[in-house]
A and B are shown apart, each in its own frame.
Chain A
């Protein structure tokens, strides 16, 4: 059995490495990861280092007193004084970032939500907080009431552990999610080529006349697609590490953060990549082998690309943490464990559960494909 599997594996690998499309899928897709890491880091950096001059032009419809002017200067607000009508016009023409309308003791901050509103708004809110505090102090001292006894009647202190660098955790999580996606994309082409492609080219008939059991044919094909996926995964991992190292040195948003994974984390990351590569290769072969043509198989495999990506994406969005149950759920488990690994927390139980779930899925999928390869309906659907 072993030698027949090796014969098929050798043949498949030879064909795969000589096919330009298979090679480019295997090697080019991982290049997207450095582009993503560096591109997103540059974007974050741009947002973080936005100059205050880009959002500090605030309009007021009233004359400011000396204290107000002083506080505006202190909070870096550039004041523009005009009538309400003029301010509306200026805002419309993007000459100011927000404007404040005063009616008696009510100050209304006006504007529309855009990319700088949050920055401008927090600037104005800070200004009014300081001004309010000034007015409270002044009122209390006029009435001979110790301001400290009223304003600081209770003292609240923050003792919340600083969260990890948001950008660092975001970029590493997404980089690893993209490794999953790169593996999926790269598995679909060889899986399609070795099954539906072989049917379409007419070489399947030749293969079936050889004295080889369908089980050995399937295992050989499965291993060849898995090897291709593992190569993509490992290249993606290497490129991710290089691009994270580069980003760590290049961008100030990662200051005081170490984006590099420890050697242990790297080993476990490689284990996750290998497990996922086996799983996705099996699934791709199972789906593609039911199709008559290459095109049909590619269409059938498209949803799998999304399925591989979505559970991880949703997990990031609603901040799901790994549990024993989640470690058993295919697709979700890989991204969750990847996130744990990047955060430096390696839970051996979860990794073992992930491996068990992967093995069960792979074995079930292989049984299905072997059955398919015994079915004339699937092999000779024409």
Chain B
């Protein structure tokens, strides 16, 4: 189980007068994600979703609070935790000069996949994601959809328990987005925990068991999509969000 407790993260930014200014990207965020659960982190751009997910993935360190994976925390067990998570973001880029096969092999080595099983694991993943026809092509020559499949493939090699997906469908066409949504559904069925951030409310409504709506670094609502809609007396999460922020429509 993933437990995120009282997370705070400050950044320094420069105001219009070029003076340093502190701002809280995440302010006292807490939630839990159980086995086989898809947890949606929803919010507009700049709400603090990426910062939160980067902290969960161990790329950033929280200023306060702690993150706990099955009893392990980053301070003491960083490598062990990272072995059991996969992080995929809309901004995540992969090594374009490598071929898909080389990238997957490198990931298998880094994640210490049993040497005897590396070849069969790559073939298996290639089959699942339908990558056989470009497995040995350089990533720089692949289409956006194919590249996104390679990105998913690198997350699968070590069969992690936790997937941290940060706006993974952002900027993708319908087909490429669907590949990712299908992937989430399949992994959920296998009992994997998925933390999924997006600003596409409809997408979250379809796949998330639990939703955390955040705005300006703070959690503004927690619950199942159904419950949130009921509480806000709305028919979809988009309207629910606007209802919760008091009708502010300054950020998309």
A203 B82 Cβ-Cβ under 8 A: no
Contact with B along A198-231 (1 / 0, CB 8 A): 0001110110111111000000000000000000
From A7, A15, A209, contact of B57 by CB (8 A): A209
A205 and B94 alpha carbons, distance in the complex (Å): 9
Residue in A7, A19, A206, A376 whose CB lies within 8 Å of B61 = A376
Are A14 and B111 in touch, CB under 8 angstroms? Answer: no
Is the CB of A4 closer than 8 A to any CB of chain B?
yes
- A73 interface contact, C-beta 8 A: no
Contacts of B125 in A (CB 8 A): none
Q: Which residues of A lie under 8 Å from residue B107 when comparing CB positions?
A: 210
In the complex where A213-B79, A376-B60 touch, is A202 in contact with B106 (Cβ < 8 A)?
no
Contact of B79 among A10, A203, A206, A211 (CB under 8 A): A211
From known contacts A3-B109, A19-B97, A376-B60, infer whether A14 and B102 are also in contact, taking CB-CB under 8 Å. Answer: yes
A360 to B57, CA, bound (A): 35
Contact (Cβ within 8 A) B106 A208: no
Do B92 and A7 have beta carbons less than 8 Å apart?
Answer: no
Q: Beyond A7-B109, A203-B93, A210-B110, is A380–B79 a contact (Cβ under 8 Å)?
A: no
A-facing mask of B78-116, CB < 8 A → 1, else 0? 111011011101011111111000100011011100000
A211 and B97 within 8 A (CB): no
A205 close to B98 (CB less than 8 A): no
Contact partners of A161 in chain B: CB under 8 A: none
Determine which residue in B57, B91, B106, B110 has the highest number of CB atoms from chain A within 10 A of its CB, and name it. Answer: B110
Residues of the A chain whose Cβ atoms lie less than 8 Å from the Cβ of B82: 209-211
B172: Cβ under 8 A from any A Cβ: no
- Does A142 have its Cβ within 8 Å of any Cβ on chain B? no
Q: How large is the interface on A (under 10, 10 to 19, 20 to 34, 35 or more residues)?
A: 20 to 34
Chain B CB within 8 A of A11 CB:
yes
B window 54-76: CB within 8 A of A: 54, 57-61
For residue A18, CB closer than 8 A to chain B, the reply is yes
Please report which residues of chain A, range 294-343, place their CB below 8 angstroms from some CB of chain B when the two chains form the complex.
none
Could you say which residues of chain A place their CB within 8 Å of the CB of B54? Answer: 205
Cα(A207)–Cα(B193), bound, Å: 22
Q: Is the CB of B110 within 8 A of A7?
A: yes
Say yes or no: B61 contacts A14, CB within 8 Å: no
User: Contact at B89–A205, with CB atoms within 8 Å?
Assistant: yes
B97 and A15 form a contact (CB under 8 A): yes
Q: Are B60 and A206 in contact (CB under 8 A)?
A: no
Q: A14-B102, A202-B93, A210-B110 given. 12 additional CB < 8 A pairs?
A: A11-B95, A15-B98, A201-B93, A205-B54, A205-B59, A205-B89, A205-B91, A205-B93, A209-B57, A209-B85, A211-B110, A376-B60
Q: List 14 A-B contacts (CB under 8 A).
A: A4-B110, A11-B95, A11-B98, A11-B106, A14-B98, A203-B93, A205-B87, A205-B93, A206-B94, A206-B154, A209-B57, A209-B85, A210-B107, A213-B79
A positions within 8 Å CB-CB of B: 3-4, 7, 10-11, 14-15, 18-19, 201-203, 205-206, 208-213, 376, 380
Give 6 closest A-B pairs by Cβ, nearest first: A202-B93, A211-B82, A209-B87, A18-B97, A211-B83, A211-B79
